Structure 1
Amino acid sequence: MTQLNMIDESRYAETMERTVIPALEACREEGWFDPSEAERSAGLAPLSGTMDTGGRSGQLHYLCYDANKFDGEREEGATATFRGAIVISHGFTEFAEKYDELVWYFLLAGYSVCVMDHRGHGKSARDVDNPSLVWIDDWRRYVADLAAFAQTVGQNYANGQPLNLFCHSMGGGIGAAVLERYPTLFDRAVLSAPMIAPQTGMPMWLTRALVGTLCACGLGRHRVFGQKDFDGVLDLGPYQLSSEPRERWYHRLRCEHPEYQTYCASFEWVRQAMHMNRAVLSPAACAEVETPILLFQCGHDIWVRNQPQTEFVNRVKDGGGHAAIVHLADSEHEVFSMPNAVYGPYLERILAFFGDPVLAEVE
């Protein structure tokens, strides 16, 4: 595997604007995915969307990047060897373009990349009028959407080569559920700080009881206490260890695109996260996993709980699956937002795992 050169953080915005973004645009396809058939197959009534950021009722937005077209740009460091495709499942309040830098590195390594905005995020259909609020009626909808996207668009970009999965945070919880329900869909899976269980500031049993009561009282579409709508102010307080140039770049994208300004959770979203937690940690479900998993756990994570991640990996292994944890003691929740000293080794380990034919990382 060719060693990748990380973007110089002192010239981050300049490099993104002059090199990365033009190269991505040259190999990028923007599209829309209709999840209604997949959702019906999962026993879910399709939602039409009350707030439609993309002008396509009920459809989900995606960005895909073709490795062969990228190679035609002759970027320095590109392997020019096609290795398959990677589907990215993003985190809570995120959007496809936030992953531009990671997509760049995956393309350099020879992978096509497919990123879908989860329902209620980015340019995908939404079901609440407040553009800052994230709401979902049933966590299984996320799972059906991601699986169907991978089975169609993802497989097409893999073109007979391996189809791998990269997940972060909420997207990791969704990804874990997909791996349990569609055990042969992906060849390898990286779960980066996955939301097997969110950090709510209170015991899990109390969170379940509280949000269950509030939703029963008709407050499911209301904002969680203590959270606020997007106001355009960059707060670096929770990101003391992160790379400031990266955080400023993400914030700029949010400010420039109203559809990227999801910022807070509804009570129903939290309730569904609790339901997903129980389902994903079911020993029977964990025993269904066949895809080798590499899970990254962060020592300074304030957004998701680490112990349920460990339980998930142990239960997958108890069920006969291949799974391993890499504990990053010096990392905050978003490893891809950390300085190069943390991000670089993390990326190298991911690429080694995706490219390793003998599963050395998970033995």
Structure 2
Amino acid sequence: MQSSDMSSRTFRSQDAVRLIDENTYADTMLNTVRPALASCREEGRFDPSEAERAAGLEPIGGTLHYLAYDAAKFDTEREQGATATFRGCIVISHGFTEFAEKYDELVWYFLLAGYSVCVLDHRGHGKSARDVDSRCLVWIDDWRRYVADFAGFASSVGQRYANGQPLNLFCHSMGGGIGAAVLEQYPTLFDKAVLSAPMIAPQTGMPLWLARALAGVFCGIGLGRKGVFGQVDFDPDAPIDMSLYKDSSEARERWYHRLRCETVEYQTYRAAFEWVRQALKLSRAVLDPSACADIVTPMLLFQAGRDIWVLNEPQNLFVRRVQDGGGTAKLVRIDESAHEIFSMPNEVYQPYLERILAFYDTPLLGGE
């Protein structure tokens, strides 16, 4: 089931994507990538109320921000290395405290490969609706709201950008937990799915049963909208501490930090107790064997060997249960990677990206 061989199947050589040089990363992002993305980008708001009602949830108001990129418009830019073939749409589900614009580099590569891309800011993140006053705090009342919102977005905006071609999923960390639940509850929505270091279960620093009990107690005494003890707000005036990202690409981490400093809506940085409680409920629901057996979408799950934010063993269990239920799932372990595989140096990122593109591009009957 597991594999650390990232070269067994690569994207077709004539379509290979050349990664941005880390030595000129910021200049390339500013002067090449972002102008090209702006030329094909739609910025919009998605009203999730209908999707939430359909899922049996009472809407709590507010709209969700998204960025969408049209491959046909991108083609008019005639970027070097871009394919002339339209392959469908990839919908991205981002991680905890992230935001759509953080994925600009990955969006660039997907566009070069012929895919339109849609990225939703999950509730409480980026420029989407929030339900707490703190700019840094992430709160959610019910994990099922994340799932309903994302499925509603993918089935409307995502399908429009797919334009009759395959609709694929890319999700990371918290977004991977949400994505896994979407695959279980909306089994025909996506044609293929990539889960990158998904939060099948979060790393809490204690046994999950104890974390569930403590989160329940703190929420029960009225601290659900309060930040978890020990976490601090993001300080845009403080320099980035690269010791926290020793395995990652310094150029990429400095770029993300710059984006967060420049935009107050991107400064989510810590969890409310209710978010922790809901993350643990999501984990239990996703790992239910009967739910895993409902997954029919071919799935590729990347596991980071040096992950400190999510647990690896629940990922292994999830893949086994999907397989036991008759689903097509493959786990690829990258021993040398930290949690954000797309933030790693090019020598790790390149084979990871090639594996993703090969998976999306392989016909369903002969896939991974």
TM-score by length of 1: 0.96
| Correspondences of 1:270-349 after superposition (within 5 Å) | 270-349=276-355
Residue in structure 2 matched with residue 235 of structure 1 by the alignment: 241
CA–CA separation in structure 2 for the residues paired with 1:230 and 1:42: 34
Whether the 8 Å contact between 1:133 and 1:266 is mirrored in structure 2 is yes
Question: Which of these residues, 128, 138, 142, is aligned with residue 142 of structure 2?
Answer: 138
Deviation for aligned residue 1:335: 0.6
Residue in structure 1 matched with residue 9 of structure 2 by the alignment: none
Deviation for aligned residue 1:93: 0.1
Question: Which of these residues, 55, 60, 65, is aligned with residue 61 of structure 1?
Answer: 65
CA–CA separation in structure 2 for the residues paired with 1:22 and 1:276: 38
Residue in structure 1 matched with residue 225 of structure 2 by the alignment: 221
Amino acid at match of 2:125: H
Deviations 1:207-242 (A, max 9, x none): 001000000000001100111111123122231110
Residue in structure 2 matched with residue 14 of structure 1 by the alignment: 27
Residues paired across the two proteins, number: 353
Amino acid at match of 2:226: H
Question: Which of these residues, 151, 154, 158, is aligned with residue 154 of structure 1?
Answer: 158
Question: Which of these residues, 232, 253, 256, is aligned with residue 259 of structure 2?
Answer: 253
Amino acid at match of 2:300: L
Whether the 8 Å contact between 1:294 and 1:361 is mirrored in structure 2 is no
| Correspondences of 1:168-207 after superposition (within 5 Å) | 168-207=172-211
Amino acid at match of 2:262: E
Deviations 1:120-167 (A, max 9, x none): 000000000001000000000000000000000000000000000000
CA–CA separation in structure 1 for the residues paired with 2:345 and 2:304: 14
CA–CA separation in structure 2 for the residues paired with 1:238 and 1:285: 36
TM-score by length of 2: 0.95
Deviation for aligned residue 1:359: 5.7
CA–CA separation in structure 1 for the residues paired with 2:265 and 2:44: 16
| Deviating more after overlay: 350-359 vs 95-104 | 350-359
CA–CA separation in structure 2 for the residues paired with 1:221 and 1:60: 20
Amino acid at match of 1:148: G
Residue in structure 1 matched with residue 359 of structure 2 by the alignment: 353
Matched, 1:38 2:44: no
Deviation for aligned residue 1:80: 1.4
Matched, 1:80 2:84: yes
| Correspondences of 1:106-145 after superposition (within 5 Å) | 106-145=110-149
| Deviating more after overlay: 223-232 vs 334-343 | 223-232
CA–CA separation in structure 2 for the residues paired with 1:256 and 1:360: 45
Amino acid at match of 2:23: S
CA–CA separation in structure 2 for the residues paired with 1:360 and 1:47: 44
Q: Which has the higher contact order (CA 8 A, sep 6+)?
A: 2
Question: Which of these residues, 2, 27, 30, is aligned with residue 40 of structure 2?
Answer: 27
Deviation for aligned residue 1:12: 0.1
CA–CA separation in structure 1 for the residues paired with 2:166 and 2:90: 8
Amino acid at match of 2:128: S
Whether the 8 Å contact between 1:324 and 1:361 is mirrored in structure 2 is no
Report the RMSD for the aligned CA atoms in angstroms: 0.8
Whether the 8 Å contact between 1:353 and 1:359 is mirrored in structure 2 is no
CA–CA separation in structure 1 for the residues paired with 2:39 and 2:323: 42
Whether the 8 Å contact between 1:214 and 1:220 is mirrored in structure 2 is yes
